[in-house]
Amino acid sequence: MPSSIKVVAGNSNRPLAEAICAHLGIPLAKASVRRFADMEVFVEIQENVRGQDVFIIQSTSFPTNDHLMELLIITDALRRSSARRITAVIPYFGYARQDRRASGRTPISAKLVSNLITHAGVDRVLTLDLHAGQIQGFFDIPTDNLFGAPLMSRDIKERLDWKNAMVVSPDVGGVVRARALAKRIDASLAIVDKRRDRPGESEVMNIIGSVEGRSCILLDDIVDSGGTLCNAAEALLDQGAKEVYAYITHGVLSGGAVARIANSKLKELVITDSILPTEAVKVARNIRVISIASLMGEAIERTASESSVSSLFD
């Protein structure tokens, strides 16, 4: 590990930052990220970072705007403190679902956020399972999009009857992601064909593929309200599936999602700690969290030493 590396954490997911530092064998850099009385963000880097390779660990999760501003202001503080290179490590990239104009007179917010991060002074970005691959191209700086599939495939092989498993994409748009996991565990692939009438609601229409007697594994990048997953699990069981699991990278789980999943027919929902798990998530009977600290730590180590990051997934 190069001696010139520093890791700074915002307030979005400090436990993950500490776990990453433990993997790297270095202490978390001393920094204060706090609020003035009127809730303006104030940042003070409390140790020397001149000429250092600095990594900021900050998911732009709820409250999204607060955590985004923290990221931008930490970047400015580091830039003005003469850091040699600044890498924004964003395990969960907020606003990613606004990656195109779905209708007239709407923004492409993911591009706007990419511009803000770039112009704040970030030199490169490290993120995990972007909602849409083209968001990499929204940045005019090097951007590495890591994949959670290796962690998930390892967990599936350790815990499930994966030889009887079928990977299921909850929609047509997630087929590429689901196929990649299916290939890793040598499983078949099925697709849930659904029609979404309005944001936050979904109606399962049809299952493409025979799931009878199989252990189904729903795979997606984000679980928000949980409606899609719960409906898909019910549809799969109605089609004769033996049991249904879900592996999702980013557990947004807003509103009553945790209760909805706890009362659903899902045997287990597995999420990563890219977003700090709430107490409700920690005590939920059928939600389990796996850590991405080793994956992010290895990617940081390779970035610092100018080694290949993509070879992590070969």
Contact indicator for 169, 147 with CB cutoff of 8 Å: no
State which amino acid sits at residue 3.
Answer: S
* pTM for the full predicted model: 0.93
Q: Label the pairing between strands 188-195 and 203-208.
A: antiparallel
For the annotated binding site for D-ribose 5-phosphate, the residues are 196, 220, 224-228
Helix (H, G, I), strand (E, B) or coil at 25: coil
For the annotated binding site, the residues are 38-40, 97-98, 131, 171, 196, 220, 224-228
Annotated catalytic residue within 6, 111, 183, 194: 194
Contact indicator for 52, 67 with CB cutoff of 8 Å: no
Alpha helix segments (H runs only) across 81-148: 109-120
State yes or no: is 194 an active-site residue: yes
pLDDT tens for the 314 residues of the chain, in order:
556 899 999 999 999 999 999 999 999 999 999 999 999 999 999 999 999 999 999 999 999 999 999 999 999 999 999 999 999 999 999 999 999 998 899 999 999 999 999 999 999 999 999 998 899 999 999 999 999 999 999 999 999 888 899 999 998 888 999 999 999 999 999 999 876 566 655 565 689 999 999 999 999 999 999 988 999 999 999 999 999 999 999 999 999 999 999 999 999 999 999 999 999 999 999 999 999 999 999 999 999 999 999 888 87
pLDDT attached to residue 173: 84
For the annotated binding site for Mg(2+), the residues are 131, 171
Distances (CA, A) of 34 to 42, 45, 91, 176, 194: 5, 12, 21, 41, 43
- Domains of the chain are 5-146+294-313 (3.40.50.2020), 149-291 (3.40.50.2020)
Q: Label the pairing between strands 287-290 and 268-272.
A: parallel
Q: Could you give the CA distance from residue 97 to residue 195 in angstroms, rounded to a whole number?
A: 17
pLDDT attached to residue 310: 87
Distances (CA, A) of 71 to 2, 41, 245, 278: 24, 10, 34, 21
